[in-house]
Amino acid sequence: MSDIYLDNNATTKVDRAVVDAMMPYFLEQYGNPSSIHKFADGVARGLKQARQQVQALIGCEHDSEIIFTSCGTEANTTAILSAIKCQPNRKEIITTMVEHPAILGVCEQLEKEGYTIHRLPVDKCGRLNIESYKKMLSENVALVTVMWANNETGTLFPVIEMAELANAAGVMFHTDAVQAVGKIPMMLADTKIDMLSLSGHKLHSPKGIGVLYLRRGVRYRPLLRGGHQERGRRAGTENTASIVGLGKACELALQHIEFENTKVKAMRDRLERGIIDSVPHSFVTGDLNNRLPNTTDIAFEYIEGESILMLLNKAGIAASSGSACTSGSLEPSHVMRAMDIPYTAAHGTIRFSFSRYNSMSEVDEVLKVMPGIAATLRKLSPYWSGDAPVANPEQAFAPTYS
Amino acid sequence: MWDYSDTVKEHFFNPKNAGAVAEANATGEVGSISCGDALRLTLKVDPETEVILESGFQTFGCGTAIASSSVLTEIIKGMTLDEALKVTNQDIADQLEGLPPEKMHCSVMGREALQAAIANYRGEEWRDDHEEGALICKCFAIDAVMIEEMVWANKLRTVEDVTNFTKAGGGCAACHEDIEAILEKVLAEKGEKFDAAAMPVKKPVETVAAVKTPLTSVQRIKKIEEVLESLRPALMADGGDVELVEVIGNTAYVNMTGACNGCQMAAMTIAGIQQRLMEVMGEFIKVVPASEMKKLVNIEVA
pLDDT per position as a tens digit, A341-382: 999 999 999 999 999 999 999 999 999 999 999 999 999 999
CA distances to A112, B14, B130, B185, B188 from B151, in Å: 21, 43, 16, 10, 12
User: Which of the residues B106, B137, B175, B260 is marked catalytic?
Assistant: B106
HSE-CB of A206 using CA atoms within 13 angstroms: 18
Indicate the SS3 state at residue A187: coil
Phi/psi at A101 (5° precision): -55, -25
Measured between CA atoms, the residue of chain B closest to residue A315 is: B13
Q: Per DSSP, what are the bridge partners of residue A349?
A: A299
CB A214 within 8 A of CB A63: no
pLDDT of residue B249: 84
pLDDT (mean) for A229-239: 96
A399/B15 CB distance under 8 A: no
Q: What is the CA radius of gyration of chain A?
A: 22
φ/ψ (deg, to 5) at B26 = -150, 130
Report how far apart, in Å, the C-alpha atoms of B6 and of each of A17, A327, B69, B223, B289 are. 39, 22, 16, 44, 27
Residue B205 C-alpha, separation from nearest chain A C-alpha, in angstroms: 31
Indicate the pairing of strand B37-45 with strand B52-60: antiparallel
Cβ–Cβ under 8 Å, residues B90 and B263: yes
Query: With 80 as the cut, is the pLDDT of residue B278 above it?
Result: yes
Q: What is the pLDDT of residue A59?
A: 98
Contact residues of B toward A, CB < 8 A: 1, 9, 12-13, 15, 18-19, 29-40, 57-66, 102-103, 108-109, 112, 116, 126-128, 130, 132-135
Of A306, A343, A380, the CB nearest to B59: A380
Distance CA A173, CA A187 (A): 16
The greatest distance separating any two alpha carbons of chain A, rounded to the nearest whole angstrom, comes to: 77
CA separation (Å) from B261 to A162, B241, B255, B264? 60, 9, 8, 9
Contacts of A396 in chain B (CB under 8 A): none
Cβ–Cβ below 8 Å for A400 and B1: no
Distance CA A372, CA A378 (A): 10
Whether the per-residue pLDDT at B229 is higher than 50: the answer is: yes
Residue range A10-38: average pLDDT? 94
Name which residue leads in pLDDT, A110 or B207: A110
Return the pLDDT at A264: 98
First to last CA, chain B: 48
A382 contact residues in B (CB cutoff 8 A): 29, 38-40, 58-60
* First CA to last CA distance, chain A: 43
Nearest Cα of chain B lies from the Cα of A345 at a distance, in angstroms, of: 10
pLDDT category, B130, cuts 50, 70, 90?
low
Cβ neighbors of A228 (< 8 A, separation 6 or more) are A34, A235
**Stronger pLDDT, A5 or B285, i.e. the higher one:** A5
B139 is catalytic: no
Say which of B31, B57, B135 has its CB closest to residue A402.
B31
Judged by DSSP in three states, A162 sits in helix
Encoded amino acid at A295, one letter: T
* pLDDT value at residue A199: 98
- 3-state DSSP assignment of residue B209: coil
CB contact under 8 A, B63 and A307: yes
Beta strands in A179-247 (DSSP E): 195-199, 210-214
CB atoms A383 and B31 under 8 Å: no
Q: Please state, in angstroms and rounded to a whole number, the distance separating the CA atoms of residues B113 and B98.
A: 20
Q: How far is CA B239 from CA A62, A390, B234, B259, in A?
A: 66, 39, 9, 5
Rounded to two decimals, the ipTM of the complex is 0.86
Q: What is the pLDDT of residues A291-313, one digit of tens each?
A: 999 999 999 999 999 999 999 99
Q: Mean pLDDT over all residues of chain B? A: 86
Least confident of A63-72, A192-201, B138-147: B138-147
* A384 CA: distance to closest CA in chain B (Å): 9
Distance CA A213, CA A239 (A): 17
Residue B261 pLDDT > 70: no
Chain B residues inside the 8 Å CB shell of A305: 36, 62
Nearest CA in chain B to A328: B102
Q: How many CB atoms lie within 10 A of CB A283?
A: 15
Identify which of A306, A379, A400 has the shortest CB distance to residue B63. A306
Rounded to whole angstroms, the Cα distance separating B255 from B263 reads 13
CB-CB neighbors (< 8 A) of B58 in chain A: 380-382
Average pLDDT in the B201-229 region? 77
Measuring CA to CA, how many Å separate A142 from each of A77, A233, B29? 14, 20, 50
The whole-number average pLDDT for the span B239-256 is 85
What's the gap in Å between the CA of B262 and the closest CA on chain A?
24
Residues in chain B within 8 Å Cβ distance of A324: 35-36
Can you give the pLDDT at residue B302? 42
- Helix ranges, A59-140 (H): 72-86, 101-112, 130-136
- Residue A79: in which H helix or E strand, if any? helix A72-86
Name chain B contacts of A310, Cβ cutoff 8 Å.
Answer: 9, 12-13, 63
Give the length of chain B. Answer: 302
Q: Mind listing the pLDDT tens digit for each residue in A54-69?
A: 999 999 999 999 999 9
Mean pLDDT of A42-62: 96
What pLDDT is attached to residue B43?
Answer: 96
State how far the alpha carbon of A249 is from the alpha carbons of A230, B8, B68, B206, in Å. Answer: 20, 41, 45, 62
The closest of B26, B31, B35 to B56, measured between CA atoms, is B26
Task: Catalogue the active-site residues of A.
Answer: 325
Chain A closest-CA separation from residue B61 CA (Å): 5
Say whether B18 and A380 touch across the interface (CB within 8 A): yes
Instruction: Give residue-wise pLDDT tens across range A111-154.
Output: 999 999 999 999 999 999 999 999 999 999 999 999 999 999 99
Q: Chain A interface, mutation test: which of B3, B16, B33, most A Cβ atoms within 10 Å?
A: B33
Instruction: List the beta bridge partners of residue B254.
Output: B244, B289
**The pLDDT value given to residue A363:** 98
CB contact under 8 A, A323 and B57: no
Q: Residue A333 in contact with residue A382, Cβ under 8 Å?
A: no
Identify the helix (H) or strand (E) that includes residue A118: strand A116-120
Per the CB < 8 Å rule, is B13 touching A314? yes
Q: How far is A352 from chain B (nearest CA, A)?
A: 17
